[in-house]
Amino acid sequence: MNLLVAVTQTVFFIPAGMFAQVEYSYSSQRQAPGPLFWICDVAVTVLIVVAMWKIFSKAGQPGWAAIIPIYNLFVWCKIVGRPAWWILLLLICFPIFYIILCIDLAKALAKESALRSA
């Protein structure tokens, strides 16, 4: 009976204890990100929102749409001429379809600016 208890402890409790030893933290010192990180994060976020606001305004869409998370993807698809279901593709496999939309946006704005200068 003691052998059965020893085997059970070896099989079940020792591996479970090893899983409990793993700690996932955001930094090696187990501290929250510092103020420099947050300053850079806010600066990049503001830069992205300002750029999207300008792009939406240039395309004839409301600029405030750049602030609303999923709606800005809908407006972006509308600007480049893609159907609204592309939002799902962006949420599933973001990098590939993001690049495609960026290329389409460059074509759409270049065509628009070429028409204005002509």
Write out pLDDT tens, residues 1-49. 667 666 666 656 665 555 555 555 555 666 677 889 899 999 999 999 9
- What average pLDDT does the segment 74-102 reach? 86
Whether residue 98 is predicted with pLDDT greater than 90 in this model: the reply is no
The total number of structural domains that make up the chain: 1
Which structural domain range is residue 27 located in? 2-117
Q: For residue 25, what pLDDT is reported? A: 57
CA–CA dist 58, 98 (Å, integer): 20
- Contact between 78 and 50 under an 8 Å Cβ cutoff? The reply is no
Amino acid at 61: Q
